[in-house]
Amino acid sequence: MSWQEATGVIFGIISVFCSRANSIWVYPTGLISTGFFTYLFAKPAVGLYAEAGLNAYYFIMSVYGWYNWTRQRNGTGVVEISWMNRRDWQIAIGIVAVGWLFIWFVLKTYTDSTVPVLDALVSATAWSGMWLLAKRKIENWVLLNISNLIAIPLLLYKGLAPTAVLTVILFIVAVNGYFHWRRIYRKQLNEPV
């Protein structure tokens, strides 16, 4: 394991725990992790170009999410957690479908990727999940875990065992995060937890 992968893994673990806790620190720690993973995945020896692009996207969405989470809403000082509405679902599914086809086409046409279909699917579902995280939608955990489930064997296949272990941790924390955010949502509504 390189020091870049180790740094990305450590800050990735910290970031996902911050996300689960609904802490704004998800974003600065995520910026560090995604920066290192963008570099790592783009190396020709690894060749997970869509994963590299995904991490670059995470970096940009972390900046957006950091800004969005600090905006004043309903006098609370933060954007509250909520469920997706019909329009959110349409956009999320559109991001997955269009993203998957676009990324697959780019990988197949312009790179030497040996796993363009799965690499594209991991990225497309994660793009959608990260967009939902920035909007503080509970369902972000579902989309991110679809991405995680596909990524784990892909990372093992590419010889990135520490990053696959990180992804297993992300999966477990995301399952827990889903239920934790549901409890936070109920508290926002002053419902019994």
Going from N- to C-terminal start, the domains of the chain cover 3-188
pLDDT of 7 over the 70 cut:
yes
What confidence tens digit (pLDDT) does each residue in 133-157 have? 888 899 999 999 999 999 999 999 9
Measure the CA–CA gap between 71 and 104, rounded to whole angstroms: 35
First to last CA, the chain: 43
What confidence tens digit (pLDDT) does each residue in 26-79 have? 889 999 999 999 999 898 888 888 888 888 988 898 888 888 877 755 555 556
Q: State the pTM of this model.
A: 0.77
Residues 6+ apart with CB under 8 A from 136: 68, 69, 79, 80, 81, 82
Question: For position 69, what pLDDT does the model report?
Answer: 78
Q: Which amino acid is at 170?
A: L
